[in-house]
Structure 1
């Protein structure tokens, strides 16, 4: 079928269903709750939603441990509820993308329950099983992201099975063609149901090294990464063999061939590899994934130079692919706190929405970013995330970014009439949707204005990008092609500054109506107040 490119430059709003809206008072968000609040999402001016997993699951990893890929967990509702959600989203002009977790299942999945019974049953080779070493230790030195060895002993088979995440999340064996086909079959199930695309969780983790070679050690000075250093031994290795294997390319091409038989669908891959930018470029080449995103803007580094360097490195490698950018999601500390600190201003929150939505590529906005929500402090006794519980207190896990959406300022924040599954901070209730909707000067009002304004600026949606040399803390680039070019300049600091314009940008016409704190032209310079942005047509 003909390929639509609605996803190029799309703003995709991520919904974490446990925390979006609870319709039945059990303290946990659900699909009917999402339906109730879709008007808010559509009113923002976004193009699509991405819904984190809502499938049947024991919830050891809160939905990323799937027990049935073709059914909705009763906690979230029913398949009929999903169909109703899909219909309402489409009626509002929103595309719907859902999470798919290919690399592993829950240990409660029927496939695994059969596989673990013996070494000769029909699904014996559907997971990654290996004999112990002669001394009884695991077959190699691979480590789990969530801490400790990536192998778990199973007494039924007297073998170890691989788990790159929790021990209750056994890895599927994608070297088995039957596993690949079963995966494509349930992808087809959702495509036939009418979804518009998928966010593919840890897509580079599908295949492992068939020889089970040890990962080499990483020098201490290089043990950095998303939540991995210094107390997580996962950072002690180069992960050359437990993920990102060359065989994955063939499977991705099979997936794309399946999706190309449907109209207006897209695949967005989450990629975390030793060189994530290079892998993103490789995975989004022609005939592979439509889009890819990595964690380079989900880390602690924040400077104009870092952002420019990250984008330019990806652009240099990505000759025919399409990037997607995110600065917050359900796995990392919220950007307002991570980059702006505990006392980040509302202007900083406004600027972050504008900045990520101005980079060349598509965008994932995480629920609450439009409110400028800071990271929540969750006490140890209230933690739910197994990752945070294991590594507390040095790393508090992911619960701080997963607390429920504040719709109102009351005790349940308009999220629930019961006890919320995670506590809702007072600071979040003060930033509720209801409160900010009444304030034309709020972060929410600015986000709405900016996203609607952006839709009318083709250069900022699909145009090319070229960075302009500027001193820290100014990030400046030109978006667009030919006669339709727009300069975007951001002051990333809390102090006002003046930036003398390069001669090539002498002819500018300031664009207004974007809703962000704005800079101004002053002769041959741009004056930028704290955390301000200037958008100008390049004549």
Structure 2
């Protein structure tokens, strides 16, 4: 990692006691491989396609790539069901291709962060094939098994996150195995030291190949106690993460990001506190869940509430003020396109995309760009369930229809929140299929690719891509953006998000209009003077002293 590592030295914010590391000023970029770039015309993105697009990432200023799974897999859950952790799925390429990607990215100063999926494996993994054949083999205890319940059925009535029971019966051994997600994804038994040793050895194997770290998929589930129905953040989670750090990560200058759908401000620093020896940062979803129905979940979205969104967002800025670190994101492979969810992807798409980028990239933490976000890609519009490919969406559709929900009602919710909206192919140009493939894409390309694509944005000096590039450069160059403390302004305002960043006697102020209407706000008394504009913005200061005018979905940011 010599070309990605910066010599340890105190960051400019003396109060925080942070030792600067190579990823503190870097911006991450998530690639969903099957939808990024297809090099051979089979309709599926691949590793050679990613290599060919590294100049795009380098031009954007990306410091590291989070690569969604490319391991060998039957692809029941698009690669999050791994059958061989030390091999590459043929549709994505070969292990030699992976080595070429790691080396080619390194030459451009870009690290490759692999997706570590070790809460579960594929049901076709060699371990599980042995485990389901005999109780007396060592691999049987690599998974979570229970005898049938008193009446011969499952041990309990737990439900899987993707729908259906969480227990599946195997006649060969006369037991049920536990799967938090689908039956094709049996949960690994982290209580078994031999299983943990296998995982740690695999992690060292990848790190020795030169990767820059791991994003750890649903890592908060590995400490579960199924008998007590404690799944998220179970009693064994943090001892396991600390052991993983001792056995694998200690002494290596790599990046680790955990994913947790249950982490809160009460538990956040247990993952990433500087003295915990666990992870560097964690993906948390409190701000995402604010857009979901509290009982019906993501497929019944509720109207966007900016005040609640800000409360969640800034609570993590407060938490990590003096300790820990925050992973900043609005989009990923599990979420809808951010400009469609938080802004207006029709009349104000460009303004909304820039405004959201300004907000996210001027907060404290490490920003993540999800592929296509940098050109303002939008949700697709699917009218039929057979246009969807996502296992979660398809399973929940069947369950909801069985409960009497009208198909049109479910499709309406799916068109806002289904995972497939972020998985439509990357739009590179106005060529057929958006330049993603010369073949038939595995999922439909968003038909707006003729108007929204990389080639068009690169030719426009006022493009969304240019705006992202400036923001990414600011984090690399500006100490306040990288390390300054955050203070929210106008917390109760239902239309405008505002905050300031402070470092010593310097500060940055940011105002963002989250509505399709012009907004005028009185500035706080201590926010005076025009300052130096940080990025291009269509927002303007009014002639009246102490007031600010914001156009629809526009933002204002300056350094004072």
TM-score normalised to the size of structure 1?
0.90
Q: Report the equivalent of 1:313.
A: 315
Q: Report the equivalent of 1:71.
A: 87
**Counterparts of 2:458 and 2:151, CA distance in 1:** 64
Matched, 1:511 2:532: yes
**Counterparts of 2:360 and 2:191, CA distance in 1:** 37
Matched, 1:501 2:523: yes
Moved more, 298-307 or 164-173: 298-307
**Alpha-carbon distance, 1:334 to partner:** 1.0
Residues 277 and 294 in structure 1, CA contact (< 8 A), matched pair in contact too: no
Q: 2:126 aligns with which of 99, 102, 110?
A: 110
Q: Report the equivalent of 1:461.
A: 482
Matched, 1:487 2:509: yes
Residues 287 and 313 in structure 2, CA contact (< 8 A), matched pair in contact too: no
**Counterparts of 1:295 and 1:453, CA distance in 2:** 26
Residues 425 and 446 in structure 2, CA contact (< 8 A), matched pair in contact too: no
In structure 1, stretches of 5+ residues that fail to align are 216-240
Residues 539 and 549 in structure 2, CA contact (< 8 A), matched pair in contact too: no
Q: 1:398 aligns with which of 395, 413, 419?
A: 419
Q: Report the equivalent of 1:269.
A: 258
Q: 2:556 aligns with which of 507, 531, 534?
A: 534
Q: Report the equivalent of 2:15.
A: none
* Cα shift readout 1:496-530 (whole Å, capped 9, x = no counterpart): 22221222223x34322513433326421222222
**Alpha-carbon distance, 1:10 to partner:** 2.9
**Counterparts of 1:315 and 1:94, CA distance in 2:** 27
Q: Report the equivalent of 1:257.
A: 246
Q: Report the equivalent of 2:282.
A: 292
Q: Report the equivalent of 2:231.
A: 242
**Alpha-carbon distance, 1:311 to partner:** 2.9
* Cα shift readout 1:258-305 (whole Å, capped 9, x = no counterpart): 4544443010011112x5443333211221110001122334264442
**Counterparts of 1:27 and 1:193, CA distance in 2:** 29
**Alpha-carbon distance, 1:131 to partner:** 0.7
Matched, 1:331 2:334: yes
**Counterparts of 1:440 and 1:179, CA distance in 2:** 53
**Alpha-carbon distance, 1:309 to partner:** 1.0
Secondary structure of residue in 2 paired with 1:190: helix
* Cα shift readout 1:104-135 (whole Å, capped 9, x = no counterpart): 00000011111111111111211000011111
Q: Report the equivalent of 1:346.
A: 350
**Counterparts of 2:476 and 2:139, CA distance in 1:** 49
**Alpha-carbon distance, 1:159 to partner:** 0.6
Residues 534 and 559 in structure 2, CA contact (< 8 A), matched pair in contact too: no
Q: Report the equivalent of 1:411.
A: 432
Matched, 1:430 2:459: no
**Counterparts of 1:435 and 1:317, CA distance in 2:** 40
Q: Report the equivalent of 1:383.
A: 388
Q: 2:110 aligns with which of 85, 91, 94?
A: 94
* Cα shift readout 1:154-198 (whole Å, capped 9, x = no counterpart): 111111100001110000000111111111111111111111111
* Cα shift readout 1:215-263 (whole Å, capped 9, x = no counterpart): 5xxxxxxxxxxxxxxxxxxxxxxxxx12311211011112222454444
Secondary structure of residue in 2 paired with 1:309: helix
* Cα shift readout 1:44-81 (whole Å, capped 9, x = no counterpart): 12221110000000000010000111111111111111
Change (3 A) 1:453 1:441: same
Q: What is the number of residues matched between the two proteins?
A: 509
Residues 303 and 492 in structure 1, CA contact (< 8 A), matched pair in contact too: no
**Counterparts of 2:360 and 2:438, CA distance in 1:** 34
Matched, 1:279 2:283: no
Q: Report the equivalent of 2:541.
A: 520
Moved more, 464-473 or 61-70: 464-473
The 5 Å alignment of 1:357-368 reads 357-368=361-372
Secondary structure of residue in 1 paired with 2:378: coil
**Counterparts of 1:345 and 1:97, CA distance in 2:** 30
Residues 403 and 424 in structure 1, CA contact (< 8 A), matched pair in contact too: yes
Moved more, 478-487 or 442-451: 442-451
In structure 2, stretches of 5+ residues that fail to align are 1-6, 9-18, 292-302, 398-406
Residues 223 and 240 in structure 2, CA contact (< 8 A), matched pair in contact too: no
Q: Report the equivalent of 1:448.
A: 469
Secondary structure of residue in 2 paired with 1:498: strand
**Counterparts of 1:48 and 1:455, CA distance in 2:** 13
Residues 361 and 471 in structure 2, CA contact (< 8 A), matched pair in contact too: no
Secondary structure of residue in 1 paired with 2:49: helix
Residues 148 and 175 in structure 2, CA contact (< 8 A), matched pair in contact too: yes
**Counterparts of 1:288 and 1:315, CA distance in 2:** 20
Secondary structure of residue in 1 paired with 2:138: coil
**Counterparts of 1:80 and 1:420, CA distance in 2:** 25
**Counterparts of 1:258 and 1:266, CA distance in 2:** 15
